[in-house]
Structure 1
Amino acid sequence: PDFNGANGKVFRYVAPVAGIKQGQYEPVQILVTPKKQQILNLGIDYALSKNTVIKTEVATSNSDVNTFSSKGNGDDRGWAGKFQLNNDKILQAARGLLLNTLLDYEYVQRKFKPLERLRNVEFSRDWGLPFILQPADESIIRMTTSLRDKRNHALTYGFINYNRSDNYKGFQNTLLHIADWKGWQVNNQLIITNFDTGNDKGTFWRPVIDISKQLKQIKNWRLGVKYALEQSEARNKAADTLTPLAFSFDTYTAYLRSDEAKKNRYGITFFTRSDKYPVNKNLVRGDRSLNLNLQTELLANPKRQFFLNTTFRRLKVYNEVVSKQKEDETILGRAEYVMNEWKGLLNGNVLYEVGAGQEQRRDFAYLEVPAGTGQFAWIDYNNDSVQQLNEFELAAFIDQAKFIRVFTPTNEFIKANFITFNYSLNINPRALLAGPDLKGMRKLLSKFNLVTSLQISKKSVAKGSFEFNPFKYGVNDTALVTLNTLLLNTVSYNRFHSKWGFDISNLRNNGKSLLTYGYESRKLNDWLLKGRWNISRTFSLTVNGKKGLNGLFTPQFANRNYQLTVYSIEPFLTFIRGTSLRVVTSYKFDSKKNLPLYGGEKSSSHAVNIESKYNILQSSSLNGKFTFNNISYAFPANTTVSYIMLDGLLPGKNYLWSLGFSKRLLNNLELNFQYDGRKAGTSKTVHIGRAAITALF
C-alpha cells in the first residue's frame, strides 16, 4: 500500500501495456449469495442372526449456492448410499478366538454435498489424489477380515477398490498386526495403494513397525523402536517423470518410558526424519531432522506436582534446491509446577514455555458493523472524511461502537524466539491461623491475604541462539517483536470480615506489537485502594482511590502518543432495603495530566452519580442512573488524547442518564427495554433506545 495509515489497503492503478494488464488486482467485489443446504439421511440396521448384521444407509442432499437464481438448479440434488454386512464367528471359545468379516459398498454422486467432511484427513494422500479435488461420482468396495483373541492379539487384512468418474482407479491392500506376549508389544501396519488417474499412475507405501519390550528388571520401564515410511510415487505416463504430488519421508524412533501405571512417569524419545522431493524421475533427499524429546510427570505428591515436556530439533539440509529450507536448531518446551502447602497457606502455580519459530507480521483494518455491535468508534480528527488507522478509538458509548478490528496475516515473516512465563501465588494465613482464641500478632496475621500473579508473553528477533530469559529486553528494545506483561499484586485486610475491610492493589500492564506500519507499545501502572464499611444492614460505604500512569507510543502516528498521570477518588454510599430496592450515590473526582513532551494537556472532572434498582415481585425490575460531570479542559477536544482524557465527553457540563426495564417471561425468556441519553458539553442531545428478548439456559 502507498499509505500505511489508511484504514485498509491502498492500491495504485497500473495502465496496460500493448493491451496486456500489468497489475495483480481487479476492482471487483465478491457477492455473497444466500445459500441453502439440506440433508436427509435414512439408515436401517437388521440382525440376520446373532452374529450377522446388515446395515444400509441412504442420503440425499439439496444444495443451492444462490437461492435468488434458478440457473443451474438441475444439479442441486445429489444421492449417496451405503451397504454393509458384518459377521462375527467364534473359532475357539476357550482362547476367545474371533473371526470378523466385513463387506462394504459405498456410492456417492458428484452432486451430493455433505454438511461435514466425508473422508478422513489423510484420504487424498493415501490414494495419491490432489489436496483440492474436483467432485466426481465415487464408488468404494471394501472387504476386511480380522482374527483376534482375548489377549488382544490381532491380525487384519483389508482390500479396497476405489473408482471415480474422472477415470481414477485405485486398489489398496492393508495388513495390520498387533501382539502382546511376555512383555513384548508389536504394532505393525502395511498399506500399499496402486492408482491410475488416466494421465498418471503410481504407488503409495506406508509401512509402520513398532516393537517394544517391558523391562521388569528396571521397574517395568519400556524400551522400544519404531520405523515408519510414507512414499508416494506418482508418475506421468507419457514423460515417465514424477509429478509434484510425489513425496517420501521416513522416521526412525527409539524410546524409553517408565511404567505408565505409576503416578510418577518419565520418558525419553529420539527420532530422526528424512524427507525426499521429486526431481525428474527420482526422489532426492533434501533434508533430515534430528529430534530429542524429554517428558516428566510427577503426580505422586498431591501437594506438589510437576510437568515437563521439551523437544530439541536440529535440521540438516543436504540439497537446498529441492528442500527450500535452511539449516536450523529449534527448541520447544513446557514446564509447569503446582503446589498447595500447609493446608492452603500457600497455593499457586508456575508455567514456563519456550520455543522458536516464524512470527508473521500482522495487518488490520476496521470494518463497519451495526451500531452497538462493535467495539471501536471512528473520530474524524482531521475532518477529511477519510478513515485513517489513527482515527479509531475504543468506543466510550454504545451508539459510537460501529466498528470492529479485523487482523489479517501478511506474507512477511520474522524468525523469532518466544517465551511464556506465568505464575500465581496466594498467601492465606487464615488457613492455619483460625479460631476464636487467636490473639496478638497471630490474630493480626490471620486478617491479611496476599494474591500475586504475573503473566509474560514475549517474542523477540532470533539472533542465532535460544532465548530462555523472560525478563530480558525492555519495551523500547528493538529486538522485541511482541511483548505482553501483566503484574497484579493485591494485599487484603479483613477480606472475609462482614463489617469492614480494604484492598490495596498494584496493576502493571505493558504491551508491544509489531504491525505492518511499525511498532505500537502501551503502558499501564495503577495503584488502587478499595475500602468498605457496612454501617448497618441498610447502609454501606465504599471508597475507591487510584493513582496511575497510562501511556501509548507509536512512531508512525505522533498524534496518538500520550503518557497520562491519573488521580481519582470515588466514595459510594449504598442503601439496600431487603431484596426489592437498591440505591447507590457517589461522587468522583478525576484529574489527568499528559506529559509535556506529548502536549501537556490537563483535565479535571467532578462527577455526581445516582443509581437505583427496584425489583417487582421477583419477575420484573426497573433500574435508572443519572450522572452529572463537570469537566475543566482548556485544550483542543478533537484529538486522541482528549478522547482518552475526557472519556468520550466534552469540556463543560455533561449529563448522562439511563432507564431500563426487564421482565421474566415464562422460565427461560427475559424481555429487556433500555433507554440511554447524554448531553455532552455544547453538543446535541443523543437518545438511544433498545429492546431485546434473551433466552436463558
Structure 2
Amino acid sequence: MPGVDSFYQYSTNPALAKYNLSFVNFGVGNGNYVPDFNGANGKVYKYVPPIGTQKQGSYEPAQILVTPKKQQIINLGVDYAISKSAFVKAELATSNNDVNTFSVKDNGDDRGWAAKFQYNNSSVLKSEKGNQLSTTLDYEYVQKKFKPLERLRSVEFSRDWGLPLLQLPADENIIKAAATLVTRSKNTFTYQFINYHRSDQYNGFQNSLTQSGNIKGWQMNNQIVLTQFNNSNDKGYVFRPVLDVNRQFKQLRNWRMGFRYALEQNAPRYKQTDTLTPLSFYFDSYSVYIKSDDAKKNKYGVTFFTRTDRYPVSKSFVKGDRSLNLNLQTELLSNPKRQFFLNATFRKLKIFDSTISLQKGDETILGRAEYSMNEWNGLIVGNLLYETGAGQEQRRDFAYLEVPAGTGQYAWIDYNSDGVQQLNEFELAAFPDQAKFIRIFIPTNEFLKANYITFSYRFDISPRSVLKAKDLKSFEKFISKIILTTSLQTSKKSLSTGSFEFNPFKYNINSAALITVFTDLFNNFSFNRGSSKWFFDFSNHRRNGKSLLTYGYESNRLNDWLLKWRMNMGRTMSISLNAKKGLMELLTPQFNNRNYQLTMYSLEPAFVYNKMTKFGVTASYKFDDRKNNPLFGDQKSTSHSFTLESVYSSLQRFSLRGKFTVNGIKYRDANTTPINAANTTVAYIMLDGLLPGTNYLWSMEIRKRLMNNLDLTILYNGRKSGSSRTVHIGTVGANVLF
C-alpha cells in the first residue's frame, strides 16, 4: 500500500503468525484497525488504510500498562461540645498516593492534605416559645494532591456548580453558612450560603432557600437554589427551583392530590463571545397526581407529567422537544384469593426543532401487570405476569475463556485439527473433565431500537383439594387422582416500527423483525401422584430461543414428549418406565457445520430393589434412536445401554454409591469418512460426547462424616469410549459444618 510501511494481519498459519497482539480503542477516526469477524474465539482485528491523513479505524495495537499502586489514608477527627446547644467538629486527613511503586520519579507529589472544621449551634428563641433556630458554620480545605479512597463529593456536585463531569484536580476551599428555623407547628425554613473556590481560577457562590412542613393541611416541600460562578474561560449561573404541594382530603375518603414543578437552567457562557457552552442545558417539568389512601389495601393512582427540554443555540436556549406522560397505578390486595398489580405509563414525545434535538417523535407504552389467584380451597392456584415497553437492544459478542477442568460448562473440540480455537468448535460439555471453558458475553456499541414483551403464567389444578377422601364415588376417586400443571414463560424483543406491540406471539422464530426471543412452555398430566402403589406422568416441554449476536442470529428449538410410569411391588421392589419422543434444532447461518434438526426416540425400563434404607440396586436398559434432517446431513445413531447402580448407606455416617454402564452405539454419516464421522458438532450432540462402538462408563462416590461436623467426599469417574483412551477422573472434597 502506498505510504504504508507495515501493518499486522491475523493468521492461523504457524509459519506466518509471529506476534500475539492486544488492541486498545482510541475512538472513531483515531486508529487504523477495526473489529473483524472470522469465527475465531476472541477478538480479531483487520487493518483499514487511511484516506489521506484521516484514519478510518478505532483500534491500535497497544497495551495499557497497569502499574503497581499504593494508596494510604490517615484520618483524625475530634468532636467537642462547648455547651448543651453548641459543639464543634474538626477533621484532618492525609493521603499517600503512589501511582507507580516501581518508579521514584515525582515521589514528592504523593502526599496530600485535607481538613474540615464545623461549628453548630441550636437554641430555642425566647421571644417565640417553641421555635428553634440552628446555625452552622463550615469550612473545608482539600489539596489537589489529596486522594480519597471513595468519592468525596456527591454525584450531582459538578452539575450543581456548572462544572464538567471530569475535571483536573485543584486546591479546593469551601465556606458554608446555614440557618434553620423550626416552628412550633413543625414547619422548617432553611437558608444556606456556600462559597466554592478552586485554584484553577474557578469561584462560585450558591444561595438556597428550603421550606417544608404542613400549612393549613397542605404538605409542602419547596426549594430555590441559585448558583453563580466565574471561571477562567466562562461564567454563568445554575437556577433550580422546585415546588411540591399536596394535600389529603378527608371528605374524599383520604384521597391525596398534589402538584410538583421543577426547573433547572444551567447556563455557562464563554466570556469572549457571550455564547452558551455545550455544557448548557435547560428543562422544566410539571406533574399533577391523585392517589387513594395509602393505609388501605386497595390503592389507585393517576399521574400526569410533562417535561420540556431547551437546547443551547448561540446566546439563547431554544425549545427542542416535549414529552407528555400519563401513569396509572393499581394495587388490589383486599381479597387474599385474588390479587392484582398494575403500573402503566403512556409517553408521547413531540419534536419542535429537529435540528437541535437528537431524538425523534415517538409514542411508547411501558406497563406491568401481575395477577395471582387461589380459588376453591386450592383447586386452581396460579399467577400471571405481563410486561411491555420499548428500549434499546444491544448487539452482543462472546468469547470462551479457559478455566480449570470441571469448573466450566463448555468443551473445545478441534473439528478441523488446525489447533486454533474457533467459535463453532465449542459445545456444552458432556463430561466434567471436558468442561474447561466458560462463555462470556462482551457488550458492543451497536444498538437497535426495540419493543419488548414479557408474558408468563403458571397454573396448577388439583381436584383432590376439594374432593374429600371419604365417601367418594368411583368417578370422583378417578378425578381426585389427577393433577394438571401448565406454565409458560416468553420474552421477546422485536424491531420497533413506531407502533405499539402488545401481542407476545406476533412473530414466529424465523421472522426478520424478531431480535431476541425465549419461550418455555411446559404441560404436565399426573395421575395417582404420591401413591405408594403406582403413578404416571405425561408431559410436553417446548422451548424456543433466538438471540442477536455480532455475526447474525442464532436460534434453537426443543420439543419433548415424556411419559414416566412407576409401580411398587411390595416394600422392596419397583419397576419404572421412561419413554420420550423429541425434536431438537439449532440454526446458525454463519456456521453451517453447527446446524441440525434431530428427531429422537428413547425407551428406558428399570428395576429397583431396596433393602430397608441401607441398600439399594437399580438395573436399567435404555434404547435411544436419533436422526438428523436430510437437509442438515441425514446422520443417524442408535444406542443400547445397560446400567447397574448400587447404593449402600449406614445412617448418616457413611454412604457408598457405584454405577456401571455399557453403551453400544451405531452411527452413520454419509458425508464424512468413518474415521472422522464422530468429529462433528452433530455427532457430539447425537452421541452425548461418546463414540461409535462400545462405550464403558463407571463411577464411585464415597461419603463419610467425621467428628460430627466434617463431611468427606471422594468421587471417581471413568470412561472408555470406542477406540479412544481410558479417562480417569478423581476428586476429593471436604465440607465443614459450623
TM-score (ref. length: structure 1): 0.91
Query: Contact 1:185 / 1:213 at 8 angstroms: preserved in 2?
Result: yes
* Paired residues, number: 697
CA shift in 2, pair 1:180/1:581, >3 Å: farther
Q: Please give the residue correspondences for 1:81-120 in structure 2 after superposition, counting only pairs within 5 Å.
A: 81-91=115-125, 97-120=131-154
- Comparing 443-452 with 521-530, greater Cα deviation is found at 443-452
Within-5 A mapping of 1:538-617: 538-576=572-610, 583-612=617-646, 614=648
In structure 2, the residue matched to 1:209 is 243
Establish whether residue 234 from structure 1 lines up as the match of residue 275 from structure 2.
no
SS in 1 for 2:45: coil
Out of 367, 371, 385, the residue aligned to residue 333 of structure 1 is 367
**1:686 corresponds to which of 704, 718, 727:** 727
Say which SS state the counterpart of residue 625 (structure 1) adopts.
Answer: strand
Q: 1:491 is matched with which residue?
A: 525
Which residue, 682, 688, 711 being the options, matches 1:647?
Answer: 688
- Secondary structure, aligned partner of 1:524: strand
Counterparts in 2 of 1:667 and 1:211: CA distance versus 1, 3 Å: farther
Is the partner of 1:430 in helix, strand or coil?
Answer: helix
429-438 or 500-509, which moves further after superposition?
429-438
- Aligned partner letter, 1:564: L
In 2, Cα distance between the equivalents of 1:150 and 1:578?
78
Q: Distance in 2 between matches of 1:149 and 1:549?
A: 75
Report what 1:359 is aligned to: 393
Query: What SS does the aligned partner of 2:464 have?
Result: helix
Q: Which residue of 2 aligns with 1:27?
A: 61
1:266 aligns with 2:300: yes
Amino acid at match of 2:724: S
AA at the equivalent of 1:369:
V
Secondary structure of 2:210's aligned partner: strand
Q: CA deviation at 1:486?
A: 0.7
Give the counterpart letter for 1:647 in structure 2: D
Deviation at 1:425, TM superposition (A): 0.9
Separation (CA, whole Å) in 1 of partners of 2:133 and 2:496:
58
The answer to whether the aligner puts 1:389 opposite 2:423 as a matched pair is yes
Partner Cα separation in structure 1 for residue 58 and residue 64 of structure 2? 16
1:656 pairs with 2:697: yes
Q: Which amino acid aligns with 1:648?
A: G
State the partner residue of 2:446. Answer: 412
Shift of 1:585: 4.0
The one-letter amino acid paired with 1:639 is: T
Alignment of 1:524 onto 2:558:
yes
Letter in 2 for 1:654: N
- One-letter amino acid of the structure 2 residue matched with residue 657 of structure 1: W
1:95–1:342 distance in 2 versus 1, CA, 3 Å? farther
What residue in structure 2 maps to residue 676 of structure 1? 717
Return the letter of the residue paired with 2:430.
A
The 1:548–1:78 alpha-carbon spacing in structure 2 relative to 1, beyond 3 Å, is farther
AA aligned opposite 1:218: L
The answer as to 2:323 corresponding to 1:286 is no
Cα-to-partner distance string for 1:117-173 (whole Å, 9 max, x where unaligned): 333322221122222233444443333332235654221222333333444333322
The CA deviation string for residues 181-208 of structure 1, in whole angstroms up to 9 with x for no partner, is 3432221111222223332222112110
Match of 1:127 in 2: 161
Tell me what 1:433 maps to: 467
Which SS does the other structure have where 1:125 is aligned?
helix
Secondary structure of the equivalent of 1:546? Answer: strand
For 2:160, give the aligned amino acid: D
Deviations 1:68-96 (A, max 9, x none): 66666665565555444444434489985
The whole-number CA distance in structure 2 between the counterparts of 1:661 and 1:64 is 53
Shift of 1:580: 5.4
SS of the counterpart of 1:245? coil
Segment drifting more, 193-202 vs 260-269: 193-202
629-638 vs 105-114, greater mean Cα deviation: 105-114
Residues in 2 aligned to 1:446 and 1:501: alpha-carbon distance in whole angstroms: 13
Does the CA contact (< 8 Å) of 2:37 and 2:551 recur in 1?
no
SS of aligned partner of 1:263: coil
What value does the CA root-mean-square deviation take over the aligned residues?
Answer: 3.1
After superposition, the Cα gap between the structure-2 partners of 1:341 and 1:105, relative to the gap in structure 1 and judged at 3 Å, is: farther
**CA distance in 2: counterparts of 1:111 and 1:664, whole angstroms:** 58
User: Aligned partners of 1:539 and 1:92: how far apart in 2?
Assistant: 92
The separation in 2 between residues aligned to 1:543 and 1:42, in whole angstroms, is 74
Question: What displacement does 1:614 show?
Answer: 4.9
**How many angstroms apart in 1 are the aligned matches of 2:77 and 2:407?**
43
Q: Which moved more, 1:671-680 or 1:417-426?
A: 671-680
Partner residue, 1:638: 679
Deviations 1:596-635 (A, max 9, x none): 2211111122223344555567456554433322211122
**1:8 corresponds to:** 42
Residues of 1 paired with 2:599 and 2:252: CA distance?
64
Deviation at 1:507, TM superposition (A): 0.7
Contact 2:540 2:559 in 1 (8 A): yes
Taking a change above 3 Å as real, the CA distance of residues 447 and 324 of structure 1, as seen in their structure-2 partners, is same
Contact between 2:262 and 2:286, CA under 8 Å: does it hold in 1?
yes
Looking at structure 2, the residues matched to 114 and 667 of structure 1 have their Cα atoms a distance apart, in angstroms, of 48
Task: Report what 2:495 is aligned to.
Answer: 461
- Residues 456 and 92 of structure 1, relative CA distance in 2, 3 Å threshold: farther
Distance 1:586 1:102, change over 3 A: farther
Q: Distance in 1 between matches of 2:571 and 2:170?
A: 75
The one-letter code of the counterpart of 2:188 is A
133-142 or 615-624, which moves further after superposition? 615-624
Deviation by residue 1:324-371 (Cα, 9 ceiling, x = unmatched): 111111111111111111122212111111112222222222233333
Displacement of 1:420 after TM fit?
Answer: 0.9
Identity of aligned residues (%): 65
Q: Which runs of 5+ in 1 are unaligned?
A: none
Q: Are 2:181 and 1:147 aligned?
A: yes
Q: Match of 1:343, SS?
A: helix
Answering whether residue 485 of structure 2 is matched by residue 451 of structure 1, we say yes
Q: In the TM superposition, what are the counterparts of 1:614-625 in structure 2 within 5 Å? A: 614=648, 618=652, 621-625=655-659
Q: Residue by residue, what CA displacement relative to the aligned partner does 1:285-321 show, whole Å, maximum 9, x if unpaired?
A: 2111111111111122221111111111111112222
CA distance in 2, matches of 1:59, 1:575: 74
Distance 1:68 1:154, change over 3 A: same
Distance 2:416 2:685 in 1: 17
Deviations 1:568-594 (A, max 9, x none): 233444455566555544332222111
Distance in 2 (alpha carbons) for counterparts of 1:609 and 1:79: 73
8 Å contact kept, 1:240–1:281:
yes
Change (3 A) 1:397 1:161: farther
CA distance in 2, matches of 1:538, 1:64: 73
Question: Is the 1:4–1:516 Cα contact (8 Å) retained in structure 2?
Answer: no
Which residue number corresponds to residue 510 of structure 1? 544
Query: Relative to 1, partners in 2 of residues 1:429 and 1:617: Cα closer, same or farther, differing over 3 Å?
Result: closer
Contact 1:95–1:149 (Cα < 8 Å) also in 2: no
Given that 1:650 and 1:681 are in contact with CA atoms closer than 8 Å, whether structure 2 keeps it comes out as: yes
1:528 shift after superposition: 1.7
Query: 2-side partners of 1:626 and 1:162: how far apart?
Result: 77
The runs of 5 or more residues in structure 2 that have no matched partner are 1-34, 670-676
In the alignment, which of 510, 520, 524 is matched to residue 476 of structure 1?
Answer: 510
Query: Match for 2:688: what amino acid?
Result: D
Deviations 1:14-35 (A, max 9, x none): 4578898664321223455565
Equivalent-residue separation in structure 2 for 1:57 and 1:662 (angstroms): 58
Distance 1:302 1:153, change over 3 A: farther
What SS class does the counterpart of residue 633 from structure 1 fall into? strand
Structure 1 residue 650, shift from structure 2 partner? 0.9
